[in-house]
Amino acid sequence: MPWGVQPSRRRFLASASALPILAFAGGAMARSISGTLPWQAFAGEPPKPVNPLGWFFFTPDEVATVEAIVDRLIPADSLSVGGKAAGCAVFIDRQLAGAFGKSSKLYMKGPFANGLPTQGYQGTLTPEGRYRDGLRALNDHVRTGHAKSFAQLAPHDQDAMLAGLESGQLDLKLAQGLSTRAFFELVLQNTMEGFFADPLYGGNKGMVGWKLVGFPGARYDYRDHIEKHNVPYPKGPISIYGES
Amino acid sequence: MAQLLPHKDVVIMGLGWTGAILAQELTESGLDVVAIERGPWRDTATDFNIGYMPDELRFAIRKELFLQPAQEAMTMRNSVAQTAMPMRDYSSFLPGSGVGGAGVHWNGFNWRFFPNEFQAKTHLTKRYGAKRLNELQLEDWGITYDELEQSYDKFEYVCGTSGKAGNLKGQIIDGGNPFEGPRSREYPLPPLKMPYSSTLFADAAKGLGLHPFPLPASNMSKPYVNSLGVALGECTYCGYCERFGCANYSKAAPQTTILPVLMKKSNFEVRTECEVLKINLRPDGKTAKSVTYIDTAGREYEQPGDIILLCGYGLMNVRMMLLSGIGHAYDPNTGKGTVGRNYCYQTQGSAARLFYEGKHFNPFVASGALSSGLDDFNSDVFDHSALDFVGGANISCGTSNGRPIGNRPTPPGTARWGAQWKKATAETYQNATAIGGQGSSYPTRGNYLDLDPTYKDRHGRSLLRITFDFPDNDLRMSRYISDQLAKIGKAMNPKQMVVSHATKGWNSVPYQTTHNTGGASMGAKPDTSAVNKYLQSWDVSNVFVLGASAFQQNEGRNPTGTVGALAYWAAEAIRDQYLKKPGPLVQA
């Protein structure tokens, strides 16, 4: 299941084998199970492939910026297509539109204060907020110096700008707790996730990331190869939904 | 107001490895047992479904099977001089949640601890003098390896462990670990088939006169029927172990070993998505009367019971003791109090990354505990007389996965993005392996657990606060280990090698290990341990505290084998001693 897109299906399955022996256990999810090993056919939670069309989180401006960024982080060359053609921007858009973007699993209680580097991110913004803030500040910065947006810069200038974000030499003065470097790391991490995650999430189109390195994906059985030392694996990748 | 429920003989917090073991053993004695588990019910077919389990993003990166910080977070700092901040996402370590607990997502390393580690203080003082241990707060565990041997054996045979004995009843066996404690019989299964990287490592190590052996793996090298009659399948080397449930029924977990038997018993019940809030003590504070928990609809219940078993993850057990007033909180200033004392982690920084050309390591042909390793520099196997530390590390090389979001090495100096990154990534994926040192973590006075004064959970209860940094002793150990593994790495003849060691300033951000130990340590004396040798609270005699929280220190090994053995040990004590005569099993 893509994160938070739908509530747990299992919650609604009144498993025939799970005895609701507590008369008070009428809660949505809490269960009592005794005297049986509960199992129900087709009760799994298979992931739902993302809708490949349109944008669910990014504005048109943000789309242009993110597509330009992912295409510099993973440029097109003789080895593979670039990040944009691989679907990395679509991937990030769908992630931000779901539970990941809203940080619904993180601890988000205050008080908020800037911690030490060993204490990790301590800002109030969820990932969607971090993208909103970072992309806006990046384009504000570019427009001030170049009268252009990031996407309109030459690739060489885009690279220089990204290197400045990575090193922290370029300070976008982002929200509390969000350093420019941390914003860059978030974008880099999500871009790589998009390039190497199963294609059902919108990136890694045609399993391009897996083919780049020679990762066979969801094959799940290598008993015939474990003792073939230093021998190339003969099969190409396969995805969860059977793309090969 | 909590609704009062009918009495049970035994109330268990948490249904992971220790909860399942205790429930299985105590229901066999006819007791009526209920487990209260805050996570969901999980079974292999549904939740570790083979159709979609190989999904790195969902399970390894977004960590679907783990405890989420929104439910329970912790705060951390490196010293008492700092202000602890909440870890807003778990990343240095990843506690489990749900039925099966951490037994679902582990790699499967199933070790026994070294005999001398149970008497660490006595043994090391005798050999090196008290001065060597000045920085440390080592204690004996109040138990011996020999006492625990049969419990280790039980856990290994329930789990179906693949390995090669190196010491059978005192006789050293070729191909196994010659430095291990004596075992009463061979492993239940032969070792896994070793990958290319492990054989290169083993050959190099043998050439240096060292003693490599296949690491003990609760990943099945062959189909197996365990001691409870539950069948497990052969490992397929799929490379989706750690952070995943096993879809092949080939990794030992409560789901694949104990629950198929336990769940069918009419005298066992599990209540899932029910979170324990507090253990309620009787007015004299010497026994517990009940457990208060809350369900997902926000309703509170009070479950009375004769025996209360804390079977959560070790850190959660400690927090529950502190929240409930079980025992006395440790104070690093006075050294008094025992709950929260001797918190240890694992010293993971020693590593050599090896880069080659023209190889095919096939890192995706992998299993969680698929490694060759050696103990020549672990624990007190080697003489520390001329050295400036105690402790050591298991040194190993293997393939646990080749999942490319998390595992795509590049040589040092490579850019992290752009054309150069891509070229190096494509070239290196098949050409890299690594030797790792899993180092001991020894206790100090200043490393401890307590309740955070500021941050609360969603029920308004204080979060657990971790105050920890790597002790200088352990950092010196890590440097020494790095020197040793570099020699092995060099003998493996790579094109390039990068060696690293642990450094000061534990960082809660990069993943290191989920081997958190101590805080409710076991021992012979109530002033230096929170529980006695049977894991029974010294202060509240019908509360037993299971898990790695009982460790006095963590050695250079994965803790699960000892967690499982201590669970069988405690279950036997409850069954054979406590039930006959409830009360303290050891007089303080």
Given a contact cutoff of 8 angstroms between Cβ atoms, the answer to whether B317 and B551 are in contact is no
String of DSSP letters for A142-159: HHHHHSS-GGGS-HHHHH
Average pLDDT, chain B: 97
Percent of chain B at pLDDT > 70 equals: 100
Mean pLDDT of B526-536: 98
Nearest-CB residue to A72 (from B361, B418, B429): B418
Q: How confident is the model at residue B564 (pLDDT cuts 50, 70, 90)?
A: very high
**Residue A181 CB-density burial (10 A; 0-12 exposed, 13-18 middle, 19+ buried):** middle
| A15 confidence band (pLDDT: 50, 70, 90) | very low
B105 belongs to the catalytic site: no
Per 3-state DSSP, what percentage of chain A is helix, strand, and coil (rounded to 5)?
40, 0, 55
User: Does a structural domain hold residue A21?
Assistant: no
Task: State yes or no: cis peptide before A2, omega within 30 of 0.
Answer: no
Torsional class of B432: left (φ above 0), alpha (ψ -120 to 50), beta (otherwise): beta
Residue A240 touches chain B, beta carbons under 8 Å = yes
| Cα distance between residue B223 and residue B434, in whole Å | 30
In this model, does residue B525 exceed pLDDT 70?
Answer: yes
Task: Indicate whether A207 belongs to any domain.
Answer: yes
Q: Does A112 touch chain B (CB under 8 A)?
A: no
Please list every residue in chain B whose beta carbon sits closer than 8 Å to the beta carbon of residue A220.
Answer: 50, 53-54, 236, 238, 240, 247-248
Those residues with Cβ within 8 angstroms of residue A143's Cβ, 6 or more apart along the chain or in another chain: A149
Which superfamily, per CATH, for B1-112+142-155+245-345+512-588? Answer: FAD/NAD(P)-binding domain (3.50.50.60)
> HSE-up of B290 (CA within 13 Å, CB side)?
14
| pLDDT for residue B390 is more than 70 | yes
Q: What angle do CA B87, B90, B96 make, to 5 degrees?
A: 135
Within-domain flag for A38: no
Task: Report domain extents, chain B.
Answer: 1-112+142-155+245-345+512-588
For the stretch A81-114, pLDDT in tens is 999 999 999 999 999 999 999 988 899 999 999 9
Residue A158 is part of which domain span? 60-213
Strand, helix or coil for residue B397: strand
DSSP bridge partners of B499:
B352
Q: Would you call B46 and A43 a contact, using CB atoms and an 8 Å cutoff?
A: yes
Q: Mean of the pLDDT values across residues A49-60?
A: 96
Residues of A in contact with B366 (CB under 8 A): 222
**Residue A19 pLDDT exceeds 80:** no
CB contact under 8 A, A33 and B263: yes
Backbone angles phi, psi at B482, to 5 degrees: -60, -40
Contacts of B55 (CB under 8 A, 6+ apart): A47, A198, A218, A240
Distance CA B230, CA B255 (A): 10
Specify if A156 maps to a domain. Answer: yes
Chain B residues with CB under 8 Å of A188 CB are: 416-417
Interface residue of A79, A114, A122, A213 to substitute, partner B, most B CBs within 10 Å: A213
Q: What is the value of ipTM here, to two decimals?
A: 0.96
Could you give the number of structural domains in chain A? 1
* Chain B contact for A156 (CB, 8 A cutoff): no
d(CA B271, CA B94): 23
Tens digit of each residue's pLDDT (9 = 90 or more) over A171-214? 999 999 999 999 999 999 999 999 999 999 999 999 999 999 99
pLDDT at A6: 39
Nearest C-alpha neighbor of B21 from the set B309, B314, B246: B309
Whether A34 is covered by a domain: the verdict is no
- By three-state DSSP, how is residue B152 classified? helix
Which pLDDT value is given to residue B475? 98
State the DSSP code for B57.
I
Cβ-based neighbour number of residue A211 at 10 Å: 17
Q: Does the pLDDT value for residue A10 go beyond 70?
A: no
The average pLDDT across B454-480 equals: 98
DSSP state of A12: G
Quick one: average pLDDT of B471-491?
Answer: 98
What per-residue confidence (pLDDT) applies to B484?
98
Is residue A90 situated within a structural domain? yes
How far off is chain B from A64, nearest CA to CA, in Å?
19
Cα B568–chain centre separation: 16
Residues B375, B484 contacting (CB under 8 angstroms)? no
pLDDT cut 90: percent of chain B above it: 100
Q: In what order do the strands lie in the sheet with B74-77?
A: B85-86, B74-77, B462-467, B448-456
Sign of CA dihedral B10, B13, B15, B17: negative
Q: Give the model confidence (pLDDT) of B288-346 as tens digits.
A: 999 999 999 999 999 999 999 999 999 999 999 999 999 999 999 999 999 999 999 99
Question: Which of B238, B260, B295 is facing A220, going by the closest CB pair?
Answer: B238
Q: How far apart are CA A8 and CA B528, in angstroms?
A: 46
Find, in chain B, the residue whose alpha carbon is nearest to that of A155. Answer: B418
Whether A151 has a pLDDT exceeding 90, the answer reads yes
Rounded Cα gap, residues B3 and B361, in angstroms: 59
Query: Is the pLDDT assigned to residue A8 strictly greater than 50?
Result: no
Q: Which of residues 176-235 of A touch B (CB under 8 A)?
A: 188, 191-193, 196-198, 201, 209-210, 212-223, 225-227, 229-233
pLDDT category of residue A13 using cuts at 50, 70 and 90:
very low
Strand, helix or coil for residue A174: coil
For residues A126 and A103, is the Cβ–Cβ distance under 8 A?
Answer: yes
Most A-contacting residue of B46, B64, B259 (CB-CB within 10 A), to test interface: B46
Residue B20's H or E segment, with its range, is: helix B17-28
Q: Which two tokens stand for residue B530?
A: 């929170």
pLDDT confidence of residue A38:
85
Largest CA distance in chain B: 72
Q: Residue B281 corresponds to which tokens in the numbers above?
A: 């003590």
Please state, in angstroms and rounded to a whole number, the distance separating the CA atoms of residues B529 and B339.
8
Q: And the tokens for A52? A: 């490949």
**Touching check for A39 and chain B: CB below 8 Å?**
yes
A27-46 per-position pLDDT tens digit: 446 899 999 988 877 788 89
SS (H, E, C) B222-276: CCEECCCCCEECCCCCECCCCCCCCCCCCECCHHHHCHHHHCCCCCEEEEECEEE
